[in-house]
Amino acid sequence: MINQDQITLAQATDPWGNPVASDEESSLLMQQDSSVLDPWGQSSSEPIPPQDSVATAGSWLDGIEQAPEVQNTLAEPFAAPWFDMRAIINDFVAVVVRQTRDFFDITKQPVEWVLDFFAWLLSSGLHPLIFILLFALLCWQLSGWKLAIGAVVGLVFLGAMNVWDEAMITLALVLSALFFCLIIGIPLGILMSKSDRFAGFLRPVLDAMQTTPAFVYLVPVVMLFGIGRIPGVIVTIIFSVPPLIRLTNLGIRQVPDDLVEASRSFGASARQILWRVQLPLATPTIMAGVNQALMLSLSMVVIASMIAVPGLGLMVLRGIGRLDVGLATVGGLAIVILAILLDRMTQSLGREARERGTRHWYQTGPIGWSLSLLQTLKSK
Amino acid sequence: MTVKLEVQSLYKVFGDRPKQALAMLAEGLTKEDVFQKTGQNVGVKDACLSINKGEIFVIMGLSGSGKSTLVRLLNRLIEPSAGKVLLDGEDISAMSDNQLRELRLKRISMVFQSFALMPHLNVMENVCFGLSLAGMPQDQQVQKASAALAQVGLAEHGNSYPDELSGGMQQRVGLARALAIDPEVLLMDEAFSALDPLIRAGMQDELLQLQAQKQRTIVFISHDLDEAMRIGDRIAIMQGGEVVQVGTPEDILHKPANDYVRSFFRGVNLAQVYSAKDIAKKPSTLIVRKHPKMGVATAINQLQENDREFGYVITPDRQWLGLVSLSSLVKADQKDQTLDSALLADAATLGADEPISEIIGSVATSAFALPVVDAKQQFIGVVSKTALLQSLDGDTSS
């Protein structure tokens, strides 16, 4: 199906000959369809040559092929390739893609549903001002009133810069990725903590995942899932789930043995130990994992703009492409604001309740405030 | 006296080839040999105990002697490699997982050296822990837990968190947690070892009081002889995974099975271990009053022969009568009175069970060796200054 000679940039955008934008993408996020399909090709006046120069770009990329014939000699053993790795992989991938097409299409489904939900919620479900209010209340609850004020200022600034829609798209992508990180990462982490064998198997996989540079992740994902926002979320999940798995495992393993032993001595089953002792005590560590996953998601969502993922990352990418420093900076600034808010919020989740001076989350913030108000009203 | 918990030739081998190690032990090899040849570590070797209902049974030994392993074999926190543990004749080592859980929920509970309280639960929730695992309704849980907390004197602290309490209070919570399920057998693994000496003594007293209120079967692990002597009805001493001696504190004190057992007494505060009767000796001037009308002549003779100032008067069946001095005897002789009338009025005596630490003062200030009598006024002996000093020096053989 795919001949290596035919690979050009134009086809790489859609290697399966499938109209990506109209079918798979909701019109909401893909209002800039054309720009998504070709983020570099805005107009011919751009400094970087756009669409019409695809052929040139192709020949630049394919430069090795057009190099004059060279022979390997003892003096220069690596002048020419010994075997055509590229062709082997391309052939292999062609086969794999054809065989696994249906499977990966199915895998994409749940991601699409979740992403659509978040995208709808953040873009049209909630009025921006209501969103800001809710977000600020959440910040107040989780962290404190200082962060709530910061959230209001930051979010209003996003709107004022006219990047609200892009920011919401990015947030929807991040939240979707986080959602899947949680439902994949925490169970895997628990499993890892329970079985040394599974841990021994998973650890090298996680090592490999974490040593692979973010950029390289894009390659297999594009092959198997294509491009667009859903593959973007998938690559983000894969990129950001390892620390959550690791920290969940670590958190559970760090629960003091004597507590587990005491629980057993009182007749607790393995499930009761997990739910009543290990998970509550591992919560701060797991929350640190959630924080890490969230931060990695945000950075990956930006990098994933290279595979036509919309949002703030695309602004940065387009800004760089056009040497439009202003555009890139606006995108970057918005990302930083989002990152700081999300980081502060989740970091406070990881802190021990003791450090915050109270024992229970419902004793502080707007909820604690309304509860105590309710109580005073009742007592009157 | 019924046997509550019986341990029959129990073995625990740590390692992946316990069968091999057991076979070698059966051939008579020592723990060290087995470890050298197979790398298998023998934790408990051929332990046989029978623990009576309602007694405090102390298992004592140095670190690494297998006592903590042994107690965990009793409720199967550690799986035994061979042997049986019978609770009321029921074999714990053969129970299914569900039976075992049931046993731990209802019948055996444990107190830990490290307290092992759940830091995320408050005191009340901690005490409720065992009850809630059993699925008891909330109000019953609270009721039982409150009763248990009241027993250990922490009724007011239900809403505190463990990290707000002192060590002693935390261990009381641990004790309350174990008592809340109203267990038949209470296992206490070095329960008081992490506490400072004063608090420890207080906790021991409290345990004894609780035991006086309701007789539970308690298996108490300790490395501290003072503690074992104080609270134990019987003591088992472990060495290198083996039980080397089982007996009452007195048995072990007076007839140690080997040097290892004897070595326990070396660092021990003997003044608290020994009581007056342990160091009491037969006085050289013991005067037996054969009949009430007996005169004083023999008594004077006896004192003068031994060059002593005081004599100890008893009846032929060793009933304590009193003390006579040479001068009181001479006075009586002049008036031709009986021996009875020569008895000194204000002679102090020592109780047989008074610990040495309590009697040092009175012995030191007394002009004569103090007589020791038991609760039935039976004369046991006298404690002289010399005997007292010798006992404090750790030398009781002479």
pLDDT of res. A290: 93
**Around Cβ A227, how many Cβ atoms within 10 Å?**
24
User: Does B79 contact chain A (CB < 8 Å)?
Assistant: no
User: Does B147 contact chain A (CB < 8 Å)?
Assistant: no
B112·A262 Cβ contact <8 A:
yes
Confidence of residue B125 (pLDDT cuts 50, 70, 90): very high
Tell me: pLDDT of A26 over 70: no
Confidence of residue A55 (pLDDT cuts 50, 70, 90): very low
B236 and B243 in contact (C-beta within 8 Å)? yes
Radius of gyration of chain A (CA): 25
Instruction: Report in angstroms the alpha-carbon separations of A227 from A20, B19, B330, B377.
Output: 8, 60, 123, 101
Q: Which residue has the higher pLDDT, A39 or A259?
A: A259
Tell me: pLDDT of B279 over 70: yes
User: Does B262 contact chain A (CB < 8 Å)?
Assistant: no
pLDDT of res. A131: 92
> What average pLDDT does the segment B332-343 reach?
83
B226 and B268 in contact (C-beta within 8 Å)? yes
Residue A271's Cβ-count burial label (10 Å; 0-12, 13-18, 19+) is exposed
pLDDT of res. A3: 47
Domain borders along chain A are: 107-353
Distance CA B243, CA B61 (A): 9
Residue B292's Cβ-count burial label (10 Å; 0-12, 13-18, 19+) is exposed
> What average pLDDT does the segment B125-150 reach?
92
What is the amino acid identity at position B199?
A: I
Q: Which residue has the higher pLDDT, B78 or A4?
A: B78
Contact residues for B203 (Cβ-Cβ < 8 A; gap 6+): B168, B171, B172, B191, B192, B195
C-alpha closest to that of B368 among B353, B351, B354, B348: B348
Q: Which of A52-56, A225-229, A294-298, B303-307 has the lowest mean pLDDT?
A: A52-56
Confidence of residue B29 (pLDDT cuts 50, 70, 90): confident
Q: Which of A240-249, A277-286, B257-266, B381-390 has the lowest mean pLDDT?
A: B257-266
3-state secondary structure B162-188: HHHCCHHHHHHHHHHHHHHCCCCEEEE
Hey, which residues does B110 pair with through a beta bridge? Answer: B187
Tell me: pLDDT of A175 over 90: yes
pLDDT of res. A190: 96
pLDDT of res. A63: 52
Alpha carbon dihedral A125, A131, A134, A138, in 10-degree steps, equals 110
Q: How far is B67 from chain A (nearest CA, A)?
A: 16
Contact residues for A54 (Cβ-Cβ < 8 A; gap 6+): A8, A9, A10
DSSP, res A380: -
B101·A354 Cβ contact <8 A:
no
Please spell the DSSP secondary structure of A68-125, one letter per residue.
PP----SSSTTSS-SS-HHHHHHHHHHHHHHHHHHHHHHHHHHHHHHHHHHHHIIIII
Hey, which residues does B310 pair with through a beta bridge? Answer: B325
User: What is the percent of chain B where pLDDT is above 70?
Assistant: 96
Q: For domain A107-353, which architecture applies?
A: Orthogonal Bundle (1.10)
Chain A residues inside the 8 Å CB shell of B119: 281
A266·B105 Cβ contact <8 A:
yes
Q: How high is the mean pLDDT of chain A?
A: 81
Residues composing chain A: 380
Nearest by CB to B120, which of A263, A268, A280? A280
Nearest by CB to A265, which of B104, B118, B120? B104
pLDDT of res. A66: 55
Hey, which residues does B188 pair with through a beta bridge? Answer: B111, B220
Contact residues for B244 (Cβ-Cβ < 8 A; gap 6+): B237, B238, B257, B258, B260, B261
Instruction: Report in angstroms the alpha-carbon separations of B199 from A126, B146, B189, B263, B386.
Output: 61, 23, 17, 26, 34
Distance CA B24, CA B322 (A): 64
Beta strands in B15-166 (DSSP E): 41-52, 56-60, 82-87, 90-91, 108-111
pLDDT of res. A114: 93
Give the pLDDT confidence of B280-305 residue by residue, as tens digits: 888 878 888 888 878 788 888 888 88
pTM, two decimals, is 0.72
Q: How far is A204 from chain B (nearest CA, A)?
A: 26
Nearest CA in chain A to B103: A267
Confidence of residue A352 (pLDDT cuts 50, 70, 90): low
Nearest by CB to A259, which of B105, B116, B130? B116
Q: How far is B115 from chain A (nearest CA, A)?
A: 9
Confidence of residue A103 (pLDDT cuts 50, 70, 90): confident
Distance CA B243, CA B263 (A): 16
B127 and B145 in contact (C-beta within 8 Å)? yes
Here the tokens at position B309 are 């100032």
Contact residues for A227 (Cβ-Cβ < 8 A; gap 6+): A13, A14, A20, A307, A308
Tell me: pLDDT of B311 over 90: no
> What average pLDDT does the segment B259-264 reach?
79
pLDDT of res. A105: 84
Confidence of residue A7 (pLDDT cuts 50, 70, 90): very low
Q: Which of A222-226, A354-358, B65-69, B88-92 has the lowest mean pLDDT?
A: A354-358
Q: What kind and span of H or E run contains B234?
A: strand B234-239
> What average pLDDT does the segment B305-331 reach?
85
